[in-house]
Structure 1
Amino acid sequence: MIRHTFIAVAASTLLAGCASWFEGAGTYEPTPLGKIEQTVPLNMKWQAGVPDSGQGLFAPAYHQGVLAAAGNNGEIVLLDAITGKKNASFRLKGETLGAGVAAGDNAYFVGNDKGELIASDGQGKVLWRQKLTSVLSEPPLLAAGLVVAHTADGRLTAFDEKDGKSIWTQWQAPPSLMVRATTPVMLAVGKEVLVTGVAGGKLAVYNLQSGVPLWEATVASPRGGSELERVTDVVSQPKFDGRRVCAVAYQGRVACFDARGGNLLWAREVASSRGLAMDGRAAYVTAEDGALWAFDIETGRNLWKNDALRYRDVSGPVMLGKNILVLDGEGYAHLLASEDGRLVGRTRTGAEGTLSQPVLLGDAAYVQARNGRLVVLN
């Protein structure tokens, strides 16, 4: 069953920029899983219990061999990234978290339900906290000595990693209704560039150190007669391959742009809030209905489409070796062949619930599910 969560934004509110939350559910039954010829092994390397996500947006963060995972109860768990062994855990007392985590040198960064960005050490001692103009809409991004916060009112603010000093801020007035992200959206390219989706179907590129806009491009333009029909947000992470930046919009299209100047290279009609992956041949997109699409990376020509996972609450894709990995809401992981979209591998992980896009580290994919399970697949 497809679920969409929207944020109604009140421009005058200081706390979350959110006047109300509401959720609508589709009426489609999940497509039953058919038998497949399993030609590629898909293994669970390890699994571990982590804090439940609740209604927050959480994804694991890697730093120097350690994987950090946070939950809405204020707990942060530190795991050995190779073995899954629990190294430590600590709790931010009295905090209900809504997004996290980013991990640095003995410092962990999360957002709470009061619209604050919190930096903590590895024992739960608060190093600094900053009041934001709204609650975080995704986990903070740690890059080049900065912690970047993306809030629900459309503001980007960069803080010094060490002391929390505000370095720069950018703001674009959001529409009155936006899609809530289900996966991290910001992408740091090296130490100099920040790429992110923004409301209104746009892709924005900033100088990471100064916040100066480098270019902005439209992935999809709002259309339709009602306010709901005109919601066209980029709420999944754009991808960069050295030459081009590609992104996909909810109720919109997938588009690729020249990375230097933002000129449109190609665009195709497909809607997604789940995300995309890229390799040297194609861009792969999980559509809003769970179908998987592949588009030629040079021309945008449709290469294939797989409908076998429709309405199964499918995550955004990642490249696992030469194949494409997605997970569904019932906790099944699926491998698709990149050349033709055939299902070539499957395993049940127990990671159930609406899933953020897996985090790819080397030859393994890390998945944090809402039910408090973290699994590693390879």
Structure 2
Amino acid sequence: MNVTAFASLRATRVWPLLALTVALAACSSGPKRPSPAPLAPVSALVPATLAWNVGVGAVDPLMTPAVQGSTVVLANATGLVQALDARSGQTLWRADAKAPLSAGVGSDGRQAAVVTRQNDLVALDAGGEQWRVRLSARVFTPPLVAGERVFVLAADRSVAAYDGKTGARLWSQAARGTDPLILQQPGVLLAVGDTLVAGVSGRLVGLNPTNGGLRWDAAIARPRGINEIERLVDLVGRVGRVDDQVCARAFQAAVGCVDAARGTLQWTQPADGATGVHADADRVYGVESNGRVQAWKRANGERAWSTDRLLHRGVTAPLAAGRSIMVGDAQGFVHLLSREDGALLNRLSTDGSAVVAGPFLAGNTLIAVTRKGGVYGWRPE
């Protein structure tokens, strides 16, 4: 394998799914949720022009897209996968997985991989379906397509690699950790140099992509509390990566950064959030469970700033780009905040349904996907 090519809320019990889903629904039916913070008037200090808008059909919140250069590959709730040109919004190709999906799309720009709710790993490209393999466990994290291989992080915390051309399984690393619960939302799986980095419970682990051998193991958070839900600390996507440093969030427990070249924990700080983080040269950015947006110093984890202007608005994981931190919300807005202090720089509108994927950047186009299946591409100035 060419190592250079390689480098380019819900929770469920690992076995009976229904019982805990119902239990969590009962927990959520308690006190009335706080009203979303009212939106203050905004002047477009960072202008952004809507370049295009297309519809792809209703999108499941788990369906995170894949971005390679100016190509965006995404799937709708029925399993239709399509690649879009981020410069124009035009469809490059479509292929049908023929079933609803349990995880988002992984892609290297040419080949895409998805996992259906029937546990089928399906490889697709412009010519349609290439191959299909039945997995032994559910998957909520998008597959990683890299180096002519497809890597899968399963709900039982196992990691496996499949041949990109044939679907033959190349290796499988047994499940790590004994926590009985796992989040039913995207986790962490990425390439850093010639190392496969996966989130397993509250830890980042570095694996040899050729055989699955363990290279290092760094804990961002450890299970705590007196019951299974309180002890749930799975790492959640997205992550903030700067060079070899990978920063991630452990569900409602902590935010921390790991040197993925050495496998050493650099810092960790308590944090109560359920969505991923992003990073730039100076800071790590995240959103707490109540919608508070905050920043930590990337060098040591000290708090840099926080803002409460988006409290209780169902805010997504952030994106750091240009002068801004960009987040979507459950009312269909994309908010641009200052990287320096969280001040509001602009607000962009969609179709009024929740932003479920993004914001993310493809080339120089800012993209967000809504629950109704609206895909919006803006050009920030």
TM-score, length basis structure 1: 0.88
Bigger shift: residues 102-111 or 268-277: 102-111
**Other-structure match for 1:226:** 227
**Other-structure match for 1:21:** 21
1:99 aligns with 2:103: yes
State the 1:112 CA deviation: 0.8
2:335–2:347 Cα contact (<8 Å) kept = yes
**Other-structure match for 1:69:** 74
Specify the SS of the correspondent of 1:366: strand
State the 1:290 CA deviation: 1.4
**Other-structure match for 2:154:** 151
State the 1:49 CA deviation: 0.7
Please list the CA deviations of residues 173-210 of structure 1 after superposition, one character each: whole Å capped at 9, or x if unmatched.
Answer: 452222222x45212224x12222222x1111222233
* RMSD (Å) for aligned C-alpha atoms: 2.3
How many residue pairs were aligned? Answer: 364
Structure 2 distance, partners of 1:114, 1:264, is: 37
1:36 aligns with 2:42: yes
Change in 2 beyond 3 A, CA 1:297/1:128 = same
**Other-structure match for 1:355:** 356
1:8 aligns with 2:21: no
**Other-structure match for 2:3:** none
1:289 aligns with 2:290: yes
1:66-215 matches, cutoff 5 A: 66-93=71-98, 95-104=99-108, 107-124=111-128, 126-170=129-173, 171-181=175-185, 183=186, 185-190=188-193, 192-199=194-201, 201-215=202-216
1:108–1:121 Cα contact (<8 Å) kept = yes
Structure 1 distance, partners of 2:223, 2:137, is: 24
Alignment-mate amino acid for residue 364 of structure 2: D
1:110–1:118 Cα contact (<8 Å) kept = yes
Q: Which has the higher helix share?
A: 2
State the 1:328 CA deviation: 0.6
State the 1:104 CA deviation: 4.7
Alignment-mate amino acid for residue 349 of structure 1: T
Alignment-mate amino acid for residue 351 of structure 2: G
Task: Give unpaired runs (5+ residues) of structure 1.
Answer: none
State the 1:351 CA deviation: 6.4
Please list the CA deviations of residues 21-55 of structure 1 after superposition, one character each: whole Å capped at 9, or x if unmatched.
Answer: 34443722221212234311133332211132236
TM-score, length basis structure 2: 0.87
1:259-278 matches, cutoff 5 A: 259-278=260-279
Structure 1 distance, partners of 2:230, 2:104, is: 30
Change in 2 beyond 3 A, CA 1:212/1:44 = farther
1:272-351 matches, cutoff 5 A: 272-350=273-351
Structure 1 distance, partners of 2:232, 2:68, is: 36
Specify the SS of the correspondent of 2:133: strand
State the 1:244 CA deviation: 2.3
Please list the CA deviations of residues 219-258 of structure 1 after superposition, one character each: whole Å capped at 9, or x if unmatched.
Answer: 1122222222221111223332124221111121111223
